[in-house]
Structures are given as structure tokens and as C-alpha cells.
Structure 1
Amino acid sequence: MTISRRMKIAALLAPLALAISACDSAGSEGEDAIAGEPVAAVPAPEGQEWAEVTTVTEQQGHQIGNPDAAIKLVEYASLTCPTCASFSQAGFETLRDEYVNSGRVSFELRPLVLNGYDLVLSRLARCSTDEAVVPLSEQVWTNFAEVMGNAQQNGAAMEQAMSLPEDQRFVGVAEATGLFEFFAARGLSRDQARSCLADVDSVKGLADRSSQQGEEFGVTGTPTFFVNGQKVEGVVNWEGVEPILQRAGAR
């Protein structure tokens, strides 16, 4: 699924059929990113691992790892994207443990919001601390079948929630799909989650940033990866990303 050049809030709150669509980037795999000499490992601060270090970037992405890492991997992703879930399930642990924790590579997650359900999920993942954003997003992808299955099974209730006033709409979607319970089991209280989703300006701000960055950086689908600022065309899985990191010097 692709996004338009200017995504509107109304489009994000379209019927459920949109909310559960697929979302692959187009193109063939194997595109080279950059090449570089081998990069030396960098020790993490005492008592920490690099994956525990979170930085909020200028683009409001959440970066884990050495903020001065020689190799910077950025992923634009949707929490309702099955290909993003597959990337996470296949490669995130290796990316975190072998690459990010080496201090050679940082990983930044930026949301590309594709639909209304995605918007609610993305805001909930950002309702807690900055350090929780990447882990909570990974939890959504790890449990992708459950999260998306709840949306499919409760389609009528979601449709009703979409028609509520703005300050109730996003809360209604979370209620209808069991998201409050899902995130509560992972440390985000129900009251905190409700407060986040009732803050319409913050939800709209997330959608607006996603739209603006999609246009600015030419991101038309998910997942889309950048290595050291260079867009990697057509690579959507860990099997394609890992060799690029290695060629860039993570070896």
C-alpha cells in the first residue's frame, strides 16, 4: 500500500478495510547502499548496553544505540504493515544484539502512518517513555496476528468508533480492539493510554509529521530503509538489510 503526497486526517480515519491493508514498498531487492571500511566496535557507557540508549532525533524518530555510530539505519514503518512485522520478527534481535550493541550501528524508527488503526497504535507506542517506543513497537509486530486479528474481528465496533467526536474517536478504536489491555500488559496504564488518545492535537501532530516526512524524503511505502542518509531502494527484509550494513562497515 502507498500513501498520497498529502495525507489528511480524514483519510487516516477511513473504513476498516483500509486499516488492514498490506503495505509493501515496491522494487527489487539487492540494491547497494554504501560501502565502507570495517568499523571498530565502540564500548557502551558503563553499566549499559547501547540498545538501552534512546535518542529522539530531529525528525522525532526514536533512535536506539550509539548516537555517534558510524552506520545509521533508519526505518520508516507502519505498525499495521505485515512486511514490517516480518522484518521485525526475522531480524530485530540480531540487529539489536549484534549490530546496535556493538556501537557500530544505530537504529532509528520513524512512523509512516497509513491508516486510522495504525495511527492509534503509533500514538499508543509513544504514550510512555522515549525508551519504550521501540520495544512497544516491536511488541506489536511480535504479536501481529493478535493485534490485527482483534481489528478484523471487531470491524463493526471500529466503524462505530470512527464516527465519534474527535476527542472520543481514538479512545473508541482502542476500546473496540482490545488495545488498552494489550498495552497495559506491557506497562502502559489504561489511564495513561486514554489520556494520550484523548489529546487530539498530539494524535494529529503524529499524522502530520508522518505525511510531511513521507513527502520530504520520498517514502511511499513500508518498510523503507535509509543507511547513512541514503535511501535503500527495494529492500524490505532483514536478509536484504544485513548485507548492506556489513558492506557499510559493520563487519
Structure 2
Amino acid sequence: MKNLWKASAIALAATLAACGGETSANGGAATGSVEADTSRNWVEVVTKTEEGGFQMGNPDAPINIVEFASMTCGHCATFAEESFDPLTENYISQGLVSFEVRNFVRDPLDLSAALLSRCRGAEPFFPLNERLFANQEAMFETIQGADQAQLQALATPEALQSGRTFVGFAEAAGLIDLVGSLGVSDQQARQCLADTAAIQELEEMRNRALNQHNITGTPSFLINGELASGVSSWAQLDARLQEMVQ
């Protein structure tokens, strides 16, 4: 991942504040009638999609939402904090909405956090994702206090090829200890952070977002397969959803 391993600690610090963007389409409308389906607890239905994201909810829901998210994006952390309860309670649990998160990695720290959120597969993904976003400010403070020369050394092709890059960033940001409290053992975390197939999957997911959907900022949303313009916060997405379920 040349765009990631060339990042210096200075570039990383600048990246931490750079997220958000506006999309150019209106988002797809729901097709047919929009009716609730409470035949099961859809919040507990979490699967990995063919595109590599993790989806919560009724796979046949009339409204399908995909969020492209970065673990180092402050707007994404705010969206996660504001959206989870109302999204799950008012829409996903009712069978009206399926919600998928696809990682849009932007830097080595982002990729390290993404690897850990995905480390144990589908079922624990959303709790890990939410906890990592809730820890974002502490993560930034911790890594900004780390040895900057060491971080620069980790962001090199040699470090990446040796498998040290993402383990090193996760250690420097305190993420291995954090996910340890959520059921990811130290050994499992380190294995996930060095998993070349998982790293490649995240790179491919980013490339598809760029090439197929023209994603330029995070968070960005697909609604029924189309980019949604003017939607970068929970309030904006909620307003769009309310229009669609009426």
C-alpha cells in the first residue's frame, strides 16, 4: 500500500483532521412499499458482504445503507456516537434498513484500527467498531505522544514487508490493550495486524470505493446503491430516512 507506507508521522498528524466530503448524487429511493418486519431481532443479524463490509439487519430490507468510514475521521466518530441507538432502534430493528460499514482506510493508524475491528469476524464487528470510534480522541492523544521517529520508521516499505507496521502503530496508539478488554487476545490482535490477506482486502475495498463510487471523503453513504449528496451526519441521514419510510 504505497499511499500508506510513505506516510510520515507529520503527514499522519495532518490526515487525522482531514475527513468529510460531499457526494454528488441524491441517493436511491426505496422501491415498492416500505413496511416493517419484526419477525426477528434484525440487530443480531450481522453478516460479511461480498464487498468486504459488515452488514447489520434484514438483508432484504427495502432500504440499504452503506457507510464508507475511516477510523481516523472525527466526523465518522461523531456519526457513530450519534447514530447507533436511533438507527438500530428505529430502523434496523424494524426490518426497514440494513446498514453496512465498509472501511475507507487513509493512513497506517486507520488501517491498524480497521484490522482490529474486523479481527473476530462478523458478530463482534459492530461492538468493536463502536468502541474504537469512542476511543478515537484517546487514540490520537496516545499516538501523538509516541516517539515520532519510531512512527516514521514504521511507515516504510521495509517495515510493511516485515509485518511490523500495523502492529507498531496499534501498540503506539494503545489499541491492542483496548481490544483486549473486548475479547481480542494479545496474540489474536497481533496476528490480525500482520494478516497480509486482510490488509490486501482493505486496500481493495478502498480502491473499489474510489473507482466505482468516486468516494472523496468520509463518512459517505450509499442509499440503495446510489451516493447520497448532502448527507454526512446522522441528522441528515435520519431526515432522508424519514422521507423514505413515510
TM-score norm. by structure 1 comes to: 0.87
Map residues 1-251 of structure 1 onto 2, 5 A cutoff: 9-13=1-5, 14-19=7-12, 20-26=16-22, 34=29, 39-45=34-40, 49-154=41-146, 156=148, 157-163=150-156, 164-166=159-161, 167-249=163-245, 251=246
Cα distance in 1 for partners of 2:31, 2:104 equals 29
SS of the residue 2:230 aligns to? coil
Shift of 1:107: 0.4
Shift of 1:160: 3.2
Q: Is the 8 A contact 2:27 2:224 kept in 1?
A: no
The one-letter code matched in structure 2 to 1:114 is R
- Cα distance, 1:44–1:114 mapped onto 2, change above 3 Å: farther
Q: Is the 8 A contact 1:23 1:83 kept in 2?
A: yes
Shift of 1:34: 2.8
Return structure 1 stretches of 4+ with deviation > 4 angstroms.
Answer: 30-33, 35-38
User: CA RMSD, aligned part only?
Assistant: 2.1
**Superposed CA offset, 1:107-138 (max 9, x none):** 01011111111111111111112111222111
Mind listing any 5+ residue stretches in structure 2 that lack a counterpart?
A: none
Q: Is the 8 A contact 2:26 2:226 kept in 1?
A: no
The one-letter code matched in structure 1 to 2:46 is T
**Superposed CA offset, 1:195-215 (max 9, x none):** 111222321331222123321
SS of the residue 2:218 aligns to? coil
Query: How many percent identity over aligned positions?
Result: 34
Mind listing any 5+ residue stretches in structure 1 that lack a counterpart?
A: 1-8
